[in-house]
Structure 1
Amino acid sequence: MNSTSSASGSAPPTTLRGALRRMLTLIALTTAVTTLLAVILGLLVDGTAGLWGALLGGAIGVFFCLTTVVTMLVSEGRSPQFLAIAVLGGWLAKMAVIIALLAVLANFTFYNRYVFVATMMVIVLASLVIEMQVVRGARIPVTQDVPKAQGPQGSAEGE
């Protein structure tokens, strides 16, 4: 894959919204495939307990990974303050939900904990790789043209 192609092989995104949508799509697909493989392996390793471990790990993994991308997608184009509040608030809410879920699940034995953790970790790590690859391959301009006539503080260079 060359530096101008993206993780999915199509043209690289040229807007932030396009990059976030690509992340969302690739993470959802990767999570579905990972969870399916984990279900099969979980069934082979520990029967029904392995199945439940894979399903729970997949559900929590997808929640963990997609909430940040969805928050960014909803916040895109709004003020920096809104973005900061949405990302920080979303992160705190996500951590509270995940800690509560893990605390509740710790009391149950119907699922295989190793399959659960392995599924969740593979999804989270795959999501990080996808996010990095999409951002790295995106062709989003990070500067804007500034008009030459800006007043006393913004005179053009060389004048």
Structure 2
Amino acid sequence: MTDTPATPAQPADSPHTAGLRKAVRFGALALAVLAVVSAAAWTAIDGTPGLWGALMGAAVGGAFVLTTAIVVIATAHSAPQTTAAVVLGTWLVKLLAAMGIVAVLSRYDFYSRPAFAVTVIAALIVVLAVETWAILKTRAPYVEPAAA
């Protein structure tokens, strides 16, 4: 790891983003575990449609939550107003995308709707809880040392 300062073309790698980086890692891991468990359970319940519903639900729910932390990390060295505007804009895009995905999927019957709905809700809850836990357990200084 080099000691080069972060630039706009470089991801923010500083102590004040350590919690968010840890949250994304643990959130993605929790999402993978949830996807496997949910896929196995729903396959046992509904067969192949349950598998598809669980996998798509994990993807939609997990992407919705993980995207916010990734966007905050990407804009960590921007002005607070810029970060707020990007996070709000991303939230609106995610909301429209989720509504569009659900609208498109409503025409098809290759997946289990209960598996999809339950897994989306579970992914939202599990990933958000794990991200929150990761941020709360991260030890990072409040003030960064001055640049030499």
TM-score, structure 2 as length reference: 0.82
Partner of 1:79: 79
> Which structure ranks higher in relative contact order (CA pairs < 8 Å, sequence separation ≥ 6)?
2
Runs of 4 or more, structure 1, over 6 Å off, are none
Moved more, 83-92 or 127-136: 127-136
Equivalent residue runs for 1:60-75 within 5 Å: 60-75=60-75
Report the counterpart of residue 20 of structure 1 in structure 2. 20
CA displacement 1:64-98 (0-9 Å, x = unmatched): 11110110110112111110111001101110100
Unaligned runs of 5+ in 2: 1-13
Question: Offset of 1:25 from its aligned partner?
Answer: 0.5
Larger Rg: 1
Q: How far is 1:141 from its partner?
A: 4.5
* Distance apart, 1:117 and its partner CA: 1.1
CA distance in 1, matches of 2:85, 2:78: 11
Query: 1:142, CA displacement in angstroms?
Result: 4.5
Distance 2:16 2:127 in 1: 17
Question: Per-residue CA shift, 1:11-47, capped at 9, x if unaligned?
Answer: xxx9222111101101111111100111111110011
**Matched residues, percent identical?**
33
Q: Specify which structure has the higher proportion of helix.
A: 2
User: Which residue in 1 is equivalent to 2:121?
Assistant: 121
Which letter maps to 1:127? V
1:8-157 map, 5 Å: 15-142=15-142
Q: Which residue of 2 aligns with 1:150?
A: none
**Two-structure CA RMSD over aligned residues (Å):** 1.8
Q: Which residue of the partner structure matches residue 3 of structure 1?
A: none
Structure 1, gaps ≥5 residues long? 1-13, 145-159
